[in-house]
Amino acid sequence: MNASIMTTGQFPDLLRVGIREVFLSEYQMYPELYSKVYDVQTSNRAYEEELIIAGFGAIPEWNSDGSELPTDRALTGNRVLYVHKDYGMMWTVSKRLLREDLYAKIGGELMREAVRAMKHTVELVSWSVIANGFQGTNNRPPLFGNQTLLNGETFSNAVSVALTPTGLEQALTRFHRWRNHRGIPVVIEPKLLVVPPELKYVAYTLLHSTYYPNIGSGGNTAPSSTGSAFYENPFKNVIPDTLCVPYLSDINDWFLFAAPKVHKLRFYWREKPATDMFTDFRTKGVMHSITSAFSVGYTDFYGVLGSQVS
């Protein structure tokens, strides 16, 4: 056989190289939002399991003159399962498109659209956990709300205030009053302010203005005529980063997060997005697929605070 002739067996292999390049370049082009909040890990099992544990309380005074040491025990809560779900779809490029040499344009564009769809799915599923975090699901307490600690006490990681100087001050105070499941005060700092697009510039004004920001309940950021320029902004750089998330459907709710390695929001990759292709013997077209598997959720409410504005 003449080596210069491209057979039907070679054709999909050559296409696969080009489509793979489109997939990689497109996948790297879109910024990830979910990974700025979640602790992203990989999994090699059908599911991951975590357990809520509270350590010890304050260590009591001990009479060392022959007395036994006091005893304590760790408190344990419920087990949390992260069961991975599969996501995928397929599509076909017809024989006619291949014959008319339109595959280079149409095939590449369809792959770009598939990558965008997968990226959208990952973000949509991840942010739905946070957007719906004020509601309990699957017999679990909500991510944001009045939480029952393992020692029987309560702590609320939810507020109902607008994103204003007063509201941010209240949320930060709640964050700095954090207590663990033993009721022990914990020094924890918010590292990220997450807002919908409608609050992006309000958040920027709050955290970056040189002088005290003039923001009312309506989100007005116009310069003040009441003398706010005479006071330095106490919120400037208090929270290192701000993230604007279009997947948040409520235009008024906003959130504070500790660093991903501190809080208990988890994202597990069981199978990262991958593509495949082959020739359909029945139609002589080229079939494509894109698949992935992951799980997302929260083990505990530790290190996250939400404001649900009515």
Ranges 83-92, 143-152, 203-212: which has the least confidence? 203-212
CB-count exposure of residue 3 (10 Å: 0-12, 13-18, 19+): exposed
Query: pLDDT for 73-122, tens place per residue?
Result: 888 888 899 999 999 998 887 777 766 655 566 677 777 888 888 999 99
Higher per-residue confidence, 12 vs 54: 54
With tokens 């296409």, the residue in question is 15
**In the block, which residue shows the tokens 């930060």?**
172
Q: Whole-model pTM?
A: 0.82
Report the side by side order of strands in the sheet with 286-298.
39-42, 265-279, 286-298, 85-93
Whether 219 and 134 have beta carbons less than 8 Å apart is answered as no
Q: With beta carbons less than 8 A apart as the criterion, state whether 204 and 242 touch.
A: yes
The mean pLDDT of 64-76, rounded to a whole number, is 86
Residue type present at position 265: L
The string of pLDDT tens digits covering residues 249-282 is 999 999 999 999 999 999 999 999 988 888 888 8
pLDDT (mean) for 216-239 = 64
Q: If you compute the radius of gyration of the chain from its CA atoms, what whole number of angstroms results?
A: 26
Least confident of 8-12, 55-59, 76-80, 187-191: 8-12
Look at residue 92 in the predicted model and tell me its pLDDT: 81
Counting every residue written for the chain, the total comes to: 310
